[in-house]
Amino acid sequence: MRPQFLKTYALIRMEVSVESLTYSEQFIFQTHLYVVGIPFPPQHQTDCAMPRPLRFKEIEAFRAVMHTGTTTAAAQLLHTTQPSISRLLAQMQTGADLKLFDMHKGRLRPTAEARELFSTVQQHFVGLDRIERDLQGLRQFGAGTLRIGCTPALGLSIVPAALHNFLLHYPSTHISLQTLGTTQLREGLLHGQFDLVVSTMAIGSPELNASVLHQTQAVCVMHPGHPLALHSSLHVRDLENQLLLTLNSDDNIYLQLQRTMLEHDVRPSSTVETTYSSTICCLAAQGTGLGVVNPYVAATFASSLCIKPFLPECSVEVVLALPSHSAPSERTQCFVDELQKQLAP
């Protein structure tokens, strides 16, 4: 009889102690025993081995062996070694106090208990497999949806170009783009309806992270045939007795323009008040008055408008707001980067 089998026999008969074996001898002994269902270390017949909770690595090894049929294939599946799988199986049998495998024609053969346990294990691993698939998707693509809120002027100007370039990086992303007023944008962001919002007005709230992406000046727009189109720039005094196209009274450009006209005692002949800068541009392009708007939307209508610098300057800002309770996703940051590229001089 080979020496290792002699030691195995002696150990089972309690003629030698487990502690007297070397590590390699313990492993050989353990491998011999687990296939016949003898606990390791062996217990004297008067001892009662108490089952213990199974460890995740043991269950994982068990599942891999049940899937592949051999400890070698299971080791390849789990990127480990065959002895490691054998050791985990032996530990699992001991911990479960159940015989899970026997040897049949030189191959492992699961017992009925093993098959029933495998069915339960599979049900629990379905959720784990889905988690892993989701993690792989997040590592590769980030969160799958990007919810953007912006003011209409930005929705007509810089946002479409930024979105086009963004989709070159994340082509499978579902985009939700909503154009709203600044108040609705702020409320939507606070209530978790957007991942980010961009506006041409300040978005103030202690619960939001707001920053200025770009700062520039408003411009004056008119029909190319307008008498004032010959000027290199327009001063607020040039608005005297003109049909003035203005935004609503809560708009930042409107407030600055009204203050400047009061300071210079300028009175237009009449006014047309509207909600959108794009409407002002369309009216001006038809020869109906002139207006002062942000340069982003003016550039969209550049082919049909005359656009002139306006003095004194009316400041225009592009403000980015993000929720303060969570860090931006990779998708969100990528879109912000594309916005900044569009705003770069």
Average pLDDT over residues 230-244: 95
Q: Looking at residue 31, what is its pLDDT? A: 44
What pLDDT digit, counting tens, does each position of 126-170 carry? Answer: 766 676 766 666 565 555 789 999 999 899 999 999 999 999 998
Q: How confident is the model at residue 18 (pLDDT cuts 50, 70, 90)?
A: very low
| Same structural domain, 103 and 165 | no
Q: Of 89-93, 142-146, 150-154, 211-215, which gets the smallest average pLDDT? A: 142-146
| Same structural domain, 16 and 67 | yes
| Same structural domain, 270 and 236 | yes
CATH code for the domain in which residue 226 is found: 3.40.190.10
| Same structural domain, 196 and 329 | yes
Q: Looking at residue 35, what is its pLDDT? A: 41
CB atoms within 10 A of CB 306: 19
End-to-end CA distance of the chain: 87
| Same structural domain, 36 and 68 | yes
Q: Looking at residue 26, what is its pLDDT? A: 47
| Same structural domain, 249 and 201 | no
On average, the pLDDT of the chain sits at 82
Burial call 163-188: b when 16+ CB within 10 Å, e when fewer: beebeeebeebeeeeebbbbeebbeb
Whether the pLDDT of residue 196 is over 90: the answer is: yes
Q: Looking at residue 289, what is its pLDDT? A: 94
| Same structural domain, 331 and 208 | yes
Write out the DSSP string of 222-235: E-TTSGGGGSSSEE
| Same structural domain, 89 and 153 | no
Structure tokens at 232: 């290199």
Single out the residue in 139, 154, 180 at which a domain terminates.
139
| Same structural domain, 22 and 72 | yes
Distance CA 240, CA 238 (A): 5
| % of the chain surpassing 90 pLDDT | 47
| Same structural domain, 15 and 120 | yes
Could you tell me which of 254, 274, 249, 250 has the C-alpha nearest to residue 184? Answer: 250
Single out the residue in 109, 139, 169 at which a domain terminates.
139
Q: Of 12-26, 215-229, 232-246, which gets the smallest average pLDDT? A: 12-26
Whether the pLDDT of residue 88 is over 70: the answer is: yes
CB atoms within 10 A of CB 316: 21
Q: Looking at residue 48, what is its pLDDT? A: 47
Range of the domain at 287: 219-313
Domain count for the chain: 3
Structure tokens at 166: 């963004």
What pLDDT digit, counting tens, does each position of 28-67 carry? Answer: 444 444 444 444 444 444 344 557 777 888 888 998 999 8
Distance CA 163, CA 135 (A): 25
CATH code for the domain in which residue 121 is found: 1.10.10.10
Helix (H, G, I), strand (E, B) or coil at 221: strand
Whether the pLDDT of residue 13 is over 80: the answer is: no
Distance CA 32, CA 5 (A): 9
DSSP secondary structure code for residue 117 in this structure: H
What pLDDT digit, counting tens, does each position of 317-340 carry? Answer: 999 999 888 788 888 999 999 999
Single out the residue in 118, 139, 160 at which a domain terminates.
139
Alpha carbons within 13 A on the beta-carbon side of 158: 26
| Same structural domain, 288 and 322 | no
| Same structural domain, 207 and 122 | no
Q: How confident is the model at residue 27 (pLDDT cuts 50, 70, 90)?
A: very low
